[in-house]
């Protein structure tokens, strides 16, 4: 049962991702992107990373995607049509080269998986042997919180300062210019 759902999510993610790239209709592609993100969140759940899954939905669907759709809606229609026409040349390679690139990436990933299967790192086998693994019923949130405030406190604080900078920058940009 779980496997069926897993493969359904995977197929959904890959299929809609292909459609996002292929569709001519930008608005539909953006809404399809929502399905990609949602299916990805489902896959995260299978990795027992429920916090990551929910954050994915909250940040990407609730924030980034809405921003993208807004940017699309508020931009000029002629400008967009222009962009769609030129996109065949702009930032895109001839088919043969892009095929080569894609195959290269696929090769790297397959090689990575094969390598991983053959020589699994020691710490992973060791922890599996000792039964030191996450269970679906475990409370990961507590662990995450403790880790954030102890081991990873510096990256955590740096990220929050960065976000604060972005916030202040946005507020400054949207402020009315004073008359001089």
Q: Which residues in this chain contact another protein in the complex, by CB under 8 A?
A: 25, 27-28, 31, 34, 50-51, 54-55, 57-58, 61-63, 65-66, 69-70, 73, 139-141
Q: Look at phi and psi of residue 131 and say left if phi exceeds 0, alpha if psi is from -120 to 50, else beta.
A: left
Q: What is the largest CA-CA distance in the chain?
A: 72
CB of 141 to another protein, least distance (A): 5
- Smallest gap from residue 177 Cβ to another protein (A): 18
Smaller CB separation from another protein, 110 or 170: 170
Least separation in angstroms between CB 145 and another protein:
10
Q: Phi and psi of 89, rounded to 5°?
A: -105, -40
Distances in Å between the alpha carbon of 19 and those of 28, 79, 87? Answer: 9, 23, 17
Of 43 and 69, the one with the shorter C-beta distance to another protein is 69
Q: How far is the CB of 140 from another protein (least distance, A)?
A: 7
Q: Which is nearer to another protein, 17 or 68 (CB)?
A: 68
The nearer residue to another protein, 95 or 135, going by C-beta atoms, is 135
Q: Going by C-beta distance under 8 Å and a sequence separation of 6 or more, which residues neighbour residue 107?
A: none
d(CA 140, CA 111): 31
């Amino acid at each position: 049962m779980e496997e069926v759902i897993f493969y359904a999510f995977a197929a959904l993610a890959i299929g809609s991702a292909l459609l996002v790239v292929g569709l001519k209709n930008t608005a539909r592609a953006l809404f399809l992107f929502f399905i990609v993100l949602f299916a990805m969140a489902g896959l995260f759940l299978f990795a027992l990373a429920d916090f990551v899954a929910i954050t994915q939905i909250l940040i990407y669907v609730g924030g980034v995607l809405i921003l993208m759709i807004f940017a699309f809606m508020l931009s000029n229609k002629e400008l967009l049509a222009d962009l769609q026409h030129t996109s065949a040349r702009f930032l895109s390679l001839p088919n043969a080269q892009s095929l080569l690139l894609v195959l290269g990436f696929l090769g790297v990933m397959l090689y990575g998986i094969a390598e991983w299967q053959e020589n699994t790192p020691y710490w992973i086998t060791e922890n599996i042997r000792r039964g030191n693994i996450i269970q679906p019923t475990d409370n990961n949130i507590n662990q995450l919180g403790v880790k954030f405030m102890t081991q990873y406190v510096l990256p955590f604080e740096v990220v929050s300062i960065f976000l604060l900078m972005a916030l202040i920058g946005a507020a400054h940009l949207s402020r009315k210019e004073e008359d001089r």
